[in-house]
Amino acid sequence: MELHSPVVSVIIATYNRSQVLHYAIASVIHSTFTDWELIVVGDACTDDSESVVRFFKDPRIRFFNLKENFGDQGGPNNEGFRHAHGRYIAYLSHDDLWMPDHLETALRGMKDTGADFVTTLGVSVTQTGQNTILGTLAKDCFIPTKGIPASVWLLKREVLEEVGPWRHPRECIMHPSQDIIFRAWKQGKRICTIPKITVIALPAGARPGIYAIRESGENKMYFERMQQEPNFLERELLSIVCQTALKDAELRIWPYIRRGLGNFLRRGALKLGITPAELYSLLYYRRKGKSINRWRTQIGLSKLK
């Protein structure tokens, strides 16, 4: 008998953060769209991540653990794709959460736009409480002026087959996730933004030492709020709007000048065939691979050799 191939293959790359992995998986299980498989790939995990996956007892979920540590989500994501059977590929960072309608929204957007690759919007949760919106663009179609995290992506599997695998951070000047979306854009793939918030992101890079602390309270709180508060998203948006209004009321000139200069540099870089992410990385890191060790040190992991 021929095995059923799901519509969407969801890939979660993880490394020794089983306490937050639980909530990421649970958010997938609560999806309103149900024809998916979930492939969780550990980057040579040494904690109880596999037990967390097995806890859900869902036949749609599989776990693999790399024998050697890759040091970044790209290695586990590539391994996950090798096991994927879906027509579409979605990624979810192990410390992020999907709203229940994420897959449904992204798939509808894919159909409505005829795109090869769609991105939704997300709320980036900060420790200061000044949350922001992720993934906003000036136009409906992607132009590489801002970073767009993988948790908001949905793409056709052919895109990855044609663009190629995630690269190791030592092989690219920008973050590997932005490198792969830029390569897709450069090859002429149609990348469209769906203007709806469907992801709650709790980025490790904004939480110093988080891998050593192994904190999961924020993830638990946001997951429970998503499930229990009927007006959760409206309250989050209202909070962000109020914070933005307060900043605007301060009448500070420098942030607007800095934003204008940044836009000017971004547009100039694009005309030269350089993405703003590449330009920033070149100016800030100066060489390939330096960004990954800075990031790993910040979150409490050892540097890659």
Domains, the chain, in order of start with CATH, read 8-299 (3.90.550.10)
Q: Is the pLDDT of residue 134 over 60?
A: yes
What pLDDT shows up at residue 11? 98
Cα 20 from Cα 216, distance rounded (Å)? 5
Task: Please report which confidence band the pLDDT of residue 301 belongs to, taking 50, 70 and 90 as the band edges.
Answer: confident
Q: Is the pLDDT of residue 191 over 80?
A: yes
Task: Please report which confidence band the pLDDT of residue 213 belongs to, taking 50, 70 and 90 as the band edges.
Answer: confident
> What is the average pLDDT across 72-94?
97
CA angle 206, 276, 94 (to 5 degrees): 35
- Lowest mean pLDDT: which of 204-218, 222-236, 244-258? 244-258
Mode of pairing for the β-strands spanning 153-156 and 117-124: antiparallel
For the stretch 133-156, what's the b/e string if a residue is b when 16 or more beta carbons lie within 10 angstroms of its beta carbon?
Answer: ebbebeeeebebbbbbbbbbbbbb
Q: Is the pLDDT of residue 45 over 90?
A: yes
- Lowest mean pLDDT: which of 169-178, 210-219, 274-283? 274-283
Question: What's the mean per-residue pLDDT of the chain?
Answer: 86
What pLDDT shows up at residue 1? 38
How many other β-carbons are positioned within 10 Å of the β-carbon of residue 205? 12
Q: Is the pLDDT of residue 110 over 70?
A: yes
